[in-house]
Amino acid sequence: MPETPAEPTDRSAVRSLLRLWPYVRPVRARWIGAALVAVLASSLALVIPLVLKWMVDGPVADRDPGGVWLGALWLLLLGIAEAGLFGLRRWLVARPLAGVEASMRADLFRHLQRLPVAFHDRWPSGQLLSRGTTDLMLLRMFLAFPLTFLLVNGTTILVGFVILFAQEWSLGLVLLAPAVPLMVLCSLFETKYSLVARRAQDQVGDLTTVVEESVLGIRIVKGFGRNRSQALAFRALARRLRTTELGKARLLAGIWALVTAIPELAIGAALVLGTIEVADGTLSAGTLVAFLSTALALRWPVDSIGFLLAMSQEAATAADRFFEVMDVEEEPEPETSGTASGTPDRGIVFDGVEFRYPDAEPGSPPVLGRIDLRIRPGETMALVGATGSGKTTLTALVPRLHDVTGGRILLDGEDISTMPRPRLRELVSVAFEEPTLFSATVGENVLMGAEGASEQELRQALSVAQADFAHQLPQGVGTQVGEQGLSLSGGQRQRLALARAVVGGPRFLVLDDPLSALDVHTEALVEAALRRVLEGTTALVVAHRPSTVMLADRVALLSDGRISAVGTHQELLRTSPEYAWLMSGAHDTGVLVPEEGGAR
């Protein structure tokens, strides 16, 4: 498990579950009301034996049919009232608890959106997905059922025993005798069960990850004929989960058998002793009937304790898994808001920037060692470097998808680490290699780049990015894009992502090789349009091909974690062999292999 490995041994289920209180608080009145109703209903069940006692010792002994009918009527009424009250309880809690689940889910989602990119690099999406679905459902069920019934059954058992002792204390003691061994057994069971429950829930997460990856990567899976191996992987995980679930069932069956059998033996013993007492004349028949029917009425509350505890354990595990994610710190907001430095150095400035991925090997050199670079206002700087040299990493630092681990980045003289995030993201627009689109309309996907932008701006952005094809789609810009935009061609997706980056005319533009998937003709069109956009902004554009580099005023060469050369395309061609090699295009065909590939 990422970050906090499952260590359920020293954690208390109660403490985990208590953390749910803030979510339950708003519905506490209804929940407590429902619990009281349930307690009342269960207590009614305990009155039934007393009516029986009255019937046996009174009308039955006196052979009075009228009295028997009256007693029967009472029993019927009590039964109806009990059923009605349980129905009322359900009605009381169903809606508020659905609300609790919804608000927890909303919190989780909001939190996931705010966690740093580094967190998402680390955590498999299936683990997050299963927390947002299965675990939250378990928690809602816990609040609706086991929590209430632990309380209700506890109270019922208590009241029941008071009644039992009041009837005949010696027989009461016989029934009470198994309590201690039962409690020991239950606590042993709980410890074991919590371990298995945690394992099962983590395995559900793993399984979800495989399903998600296979569905999202269905093209690759099919294209490479990986169906079988994916299916095998899935089956292996499913089998592992099944083994765990069977283990859970075995544990549950064991405790269930014990919790049922032991009280049964005690009731048997009480029956024998009671019958002897009745024969001796020291106990009335009615009392024995009442005693035994009370004991029988307590059977369900006692029996159910085993699986109520099991469900509570599962809920505690679910709560742990939920809070494991919620406890990860969100991206901190800067305390001071943008204090411009003494000499407002306009443009984008990288000042001794160092970056190392959080999960990098401790001794390894950082991806970016020391980046010093200044992009003048209005200038377009191309960033060129071998594959794996850190270009994407460098561009991700500007919108603070990752935070620099050394040095600073200034936008118009303002340190981005002291800038409120919303402002930073307003200033900087980005488009990445992988054009990510969402299941929304084309228009919504593009306008994500500038909330509240007008129809006119949308049109303009589409035209700049040569994405006018959007108007020809069945419903124009209102056309729904499939999941991840997979219903569009690669080039179409890239142009939409580009439109999203330029909509609203951002001050700073960061483009990570935005033209890689375009055919030569479209590329030329996008470049022509992009030239217009770039005139108005300060831009950093990762470029792999000479044609993209031509858009830029100057070029920076990234190698070995540093900017090793800056200059115009022509200058660098003359002075830097590495640059000349990168631009020669020969490496695309694999004809010319340099001695130092630059890829580390």
Ligand X SMILES: Nc1ncnc2c1ncn2[C@@H]1O[C@H](COP(=O)(O)OP(=O)(O)OP(=O)(O)O)[C@@H](O)[C@H]1O
Interacting residues with Mg ion (CB under 5 A):
392
Per-residue H/E/C for 519-586? CHHHHHHHHHHHHHHHHHCEEEEECCCHHHHCCCCEEEEEECCEEEEEECHHHHHHHCHHHHHHHHCH
Going by their DSSP bridges, the two strands 348-355 and 406-411 should be labelled as: antiparallel
Which of ligand X, Mg ion, none does residue 121 bind to, with CB < 5 to 8 Å depending on kind? ligand X
Please, what is the minimum distance in Å from the beta carbon of residue 9 to ligand X? 32
Please, what is the minimum distance in Å from the beta carbon of residue 558 to Mg ion? 11
Helix axes 299-326, 285-297, angle to 10 degrees: 20
Q: Which is nearer to ligand X, 118 or 440 (CB)?
A: 118
Angle, CA of 368, 374 and 380, to the nearest 5°: 105
Q: Which of 155, 393, 522, 576 binds ligand X (CB under 6 A)?
A: 393
**Considering only 216-224, 343-351, 386-394, 443-451, which stretch makes contact with ligand X by CB under 6 A?**
386-394
| Main-chain phi, psi angles of 372, to 5 degrees | -120, 120
**Considering only 132-140, 209-217, 383-391, 491-499, which stretch makes contact with ligand X by CB under 6 A?**
383-391
Instruction: Based on the shown chain and the rule CB under 6 A, indicate whether residue 389 belongs to the binding site for ligand X.
Output: yes
Q: Which is nearer to ligand X, 290 or 431 (CB)?
A: 431
Nearest in space to 544 (alpha carbons), one of 429, 420, 388: 388
> How many other CB atoms are there within 10 angstroms of residue 207's CB atom?
18
Are 444 and 473 contacting, i.e. CB atoms less than 8 angstroms apart?
no
Please, what is the minimum distance in Å from the beta carbon of residue 433 to Mg ion? 5
Which of ligand X, Mg ion, none does residue 359 bind to, with CB < 5 to 8 Å depending on kind? ligand X
* DSSP run (H or E) holding 133: none
Q: Which is nearer to ligand X, 54 or 357 (CB)?
A: 357
Q: Which is nearer to ligand X, 7 or 121 (CB)?
A: 121
In the shown chain, the binding pattern of residues 412 to 451 toward ligand X, with x for contact by CB under 6 A and - for none, equals ---------------------x------------------
Spell out the alpha helix ranges (H) of 168-178.
169-176
CA diameter of the chain: 120
Q: Which is nearer to ligand X, 390 or 506 (CB)?
A: 390
Instruction: Based on the shown chain and the rule CB under 6 A, indicate whether residue 121 belongs to the binding site for ligand X.
Output: yes
* DSSP run (H or E) holding 101: helix 65-114
Q: Which of 167, 230, 304, 392 binds ligand X (CB under 6 A)?
A: 392
Residue-by-residue DSSP string for 414-427: EEGGGS-HHHHHHH
Instruction: Based on the shown chain and the rule CB under 6 A, indicate whether residue 390 belongs to the binding site for ligand X.
Output: yes
**Residue closest to ligand X, measured at CB:** 392
Q: Which is nearer to ligand X, 225 or 362 (CB)?
A: 362
Which of ligand X, Mg ion, none does residue 388 bind to, with CB < 5 to 8 Å depending on kind? ligand X
Q: Which is nearer to ligand X, 58 or 366 (CB)?
A: 366
Nearest in space to 416 (alpha carbons), one of 432, 397, 430, 388: 397
Hunting for tokens 């228009």 — which residue is that?
443
Angle, CA of 592, 594 and 598, to the nearest 5°: 130
Please, what is the minimum distance in Å from the beta carbon of residue 321 to ligand X? 24
Q: How many residues bind ligand X (CB under 6 A)?
A: 14
Please, what is the minimum distance in Å from the beta carbon of residue 459 to ligand X? 32
In the shown chain, the binding pattern of residues 318 to 357 toward ligand X, with x for contact by CB under 6 A and - for none, equals ---------------------------------------x
Restricting to residues 354-373, which ones interact with ligand X according to CB under 6 A?
A: 357, 359, 367
In a 3-state reduction of DSSP, which class is residue 375?
Answer: strand
- How far is residue 584 from each of residues 78, 92, 517, measured CA to CA in Å? 91, 73, 19
| Cα(25)–Cα(400) distance, integer angstroms | 37
**Residue closest to Mg ion, measured at CB:** 392
Residue ranges with strand state E in 109-175 = none
Please, what is the minimum distance in Å from the beta carbon of residue 399 to ligand X? 14
Please, what is the minimum distance in Å from the beta carbon of residue 359 to Mg ion? 18
Please, what is the minimum distance in Å from the beta carbon of residue 368 to ligand X? 9
Which of Mg ion, ligand X, none does residue 393 bind to, with CB < 5 to 8 Å depending on kind? ligand X
> How many other CB atoms are there within 10 angstroms of residue 438's CB atom?
12
Which of ligand X, Mg ion, none does residue 376 bind to, with CB < 5 to 8 Å depending on kind? none
Instruction: Based on the shown chain and the rule CB under 6 A, indicate whether residue 387 belongs to the binding site for ligand X.
Output: yes
Binding residues (CB under 6 A) for ligand X: these are: 121, 357, 359, 367, 385, 387-393, 433, 600
